[in-house]
Amino acid sequence: MKIYHLSAECYPVAKVGGLGDVVGALPKYQNLAGLQAAVVLPFYDRKFTQENEFETVFAAATLLGNKRYFFEILKEKTDKLGFELYLVKIPGLLDRENIYSYPDEREQFIAYQLAFLDWISYSQQTPGLIHCHDHHTGLVPFLLYHSKLYTRLANVPTVFTIHNGQYHGAFGWDKLSLLPEIDLTKTGLLDWAGGINPLAAAVKCSWKYTTVSPSYLEELTYNSNGLEYLFYTERLKGTGIMNGIDTEVWNPQTDAMIAAKFTARTLAKGKRANKEVLCSRFELNPEKPLFTFIGRLVVEKGADLLARAIERSLLENEGEINFLVLGTGDKETEQDLLKLKNKYPEHCAVFIGYDEALAHQIYAGADFLLMPSRVEPCGLNQLYALRYGTMPVVRATGGLRDSVIDFGDEGGYGIRFIQDNVQDICHSVFRAKQLYKDTAKLQQLRKQMMTLDFSWARSTQQYIDLYKSLNPII
C-alpha cells in the first residue's frame, strides 16, 4: 500500500533547511526497506523542474473559497530520486520560483492540500498512510476526518512530523471560507489562541505525531511558541525519532564536492588536504584550528552571539585560532560578522549566502563545527560534521543533546555546553583549542566520529514500526 509524504520542501527539488533533507531521504530509505513511499510537493519553477521530465497523471479543478482553480498532478518520469515524486501545479498560485514568503502563502498551502486530497479522492485511491510534515500540510488530517468531501478516506491513518514547532502557520477565522464544507461542530480542533492553527490541528487530529529527536518531544512541552499545554496534554500520542542523514550524499569517500576524498583510514591525510584547499580560498593559516558555523543567521541558531563570541575568543586565545562562517539571515548579524572579517582578516572569513559545494568542503576541511542553537529540533549539521571527522561544538538542546556526547564523558566524541551565552561558547572554543594540541587524542576521536551510525537505515525502521502499529498491512 502506498505511503504519501506531504511537504513544502524536498531535496534536491526545493530546499531551505533540514525539512528538505529529511523528505528527500526518508522515502528513499523506506522504499529500500520494502515500502511504497512517494512524495507530493507544491510545484516550484526551479532548476530541478526545469531540467527533468514530468507527465500529467491527473487534472481537475478545486475550490478555494468561491474561486475555482485548475490543478495538475505532475509525476517525475524516471523516479530518479528513489521514490515517486508528484508535484501539484496550480497556474497563478503554485507555479512560482520561491518556496516561502509570498503574500498569499496561506492560500498557496491550503490549495496544495486541497488539490492533493481531491486527487486522491477523485482517482479512487486508498493510501496505506499519509505522512504530513510541518504546518504547511497540517490541515490534511482535519480535512480527512471532518470534511464530507473526503468521507471515503476517513479510515486512512495519518502521521504528522514536527520539524520545527516554533512555526505554526496560523491565520484568522476570516479564512475559514477557504476550506471545503466541514463539520462545524469540530472547529475547535482547528482553533488555538483564537485563530486557525494548522500545526495544532495536526497534533490533535493525526493518529500519531512525531518529532525529529527524542529530546525535542520533551522540549515542546515547555518551548513551542504558545503550544506548550497542547504538547503536554498530547504527549502520550507523540514519538521522538532522530533524523538520519543520507550516507550516499554525505560520504567523504565518494563526495564529488570536496577536494580530496578520504576514509577513516586515510583521515589524517584527507582532512589535511581539504583544510589546505579551504584555507587557501579564504586566506587563513591551515596550521591553526579552524572553527566554522554553517546555517541560517537567526536567533534560533544562536547566530546573534557569533560575532561577540568570535571576537572574544580571538582575543582570549591571542590569534591562535581561525573562524569561517557560511550563512545568511538577519541583516544586522550579517553586518556584524562582515565587520569582524574586516577587523581580523587573517583569522576570520565570512561567506554570506549558501553554497552547497562549499558546505561540503567546509565539513571536510574544518576542525570544529559551532552550533550554539537556542532551538534545534534535530540538527543535521552536527551529523554531517561527524561523518567527515569534524568535531561538533554544540549547545545541549534538542537533537544536539541526543546526538553529541562530550569527549570528557564516557564514550564521548564532541564538545557540549549548557547556556546560550558568549561565555559558554568561548569556554568551549578554548577546550577545543586545547584538544587540537593533542594530535593523537584528536585523531582517535575523529576516527570514532566517522564510525558512528546516524544513517537513515536506523531511523527508517522506527518509522516502519510506527506505521505498522497504525496499519499492519503496509
**Rounded to the nearest 5°, which phi and psi values hold at 73?**
-105, 115
pLDDT tens per residue across span 140-199: 999 999 999 999 999 999 999 999 999 999 999 999 999 999 999 999 999 999 999 999
Q: Say if 253 falls within a structural domain.
A: no
Same structural domain, 369 and 417: yes
- Please report whether residue 21 resides in a domain: yes
Position 437 confidence tier, pLDDT thresholds 50, 70, 90: very high
Distance CA 361, CA 161 (A): 31
Asked if the structure places residue 418 within a domain, the reply is: yes
Structural domain range at position 403 = 266-451
Tell me how far apart the terminal alpha carbons of the chain are, to the nearest angstrom.
5
pLDDT tens for each residue of 40-55: 999 999 999 999 999 9
Strands 290-297 and 322-329: parallel
* Domain harbouring 370, CATH code: 3.40.50.2000
Number of domains in the chain: 2
What's the pLDDT at 462? Answer: 95
Mean pLDDT of the chain: 97
The reported pLDDT for the residue numbered 18 is 86
* Helix, strand, or coil (residue 415): strand
pLDDT of 17 > 90? The answer is no
Between CA 474 and CA 461 the distance in angstroms is 13
In this structure, are 270 and 225 located in the same domain?
no
Domain match, 120 and 150 both? yes
The pLDDT tens digits of the residues spanning 214-251 come to 999 999 999 999 999 999 999 999 999 999 998 988 99
Asked whether residue 113 is assigned to any structural domain, the reply reads: yes
- 428 and 465 assigned to the same domain: no
**Does residue 113 surpass a pLDDT of 90?**
yes
Measured CA distances, 297 to 94, 126, 167, 315, 427 (Å): 28, 43, 17, 23, 21
Binding-site residue set: 15
Residue 189 contacts residue 201 (beta carbons within 8 Å): yes
For residues 116 and 183, what is the distance between their CA atoms, to the nearest angstrom?
A: 20
Listed in sequence order, the residues at least 6 apart from 375 whose beta carbon sits closer than 8 Å to its beta carbon are 164, 166, 219, 223, 300, 397, 398
In this structure, are 291 and 394 located in the same domain? yes
Neighbour count for residue 254 (Cβ, 10 Å) = 11
Q: In the Cβ-directed half-sphere of 198, how many Cα atoms lie within 13 Å?
A: 27
pTM of the model: 0.91
Q: Which of the two residues, 407 and 1, has the higher pLDDT score?
A: 407
pLDDT for residue 332: 97
Please list, residue by residue across 335-358, b when 16 or more beta carbons sit within 10 angstroms of its beta carbon and e when fewer do: ebbeebbeebeebbbbbbeeeeeb
- Residues comprising the binding site for ADP-alpha-D-glucose? 15
CA distances to 14, 309, 426 from 430, rounded to whole Å, are 38, 11, 6
Q: In this predicted model, what pLDDT tens digit does every residue of 350-378 receive, in sequence order?
A: 999 989 999 999 999 999 999 999 999 99
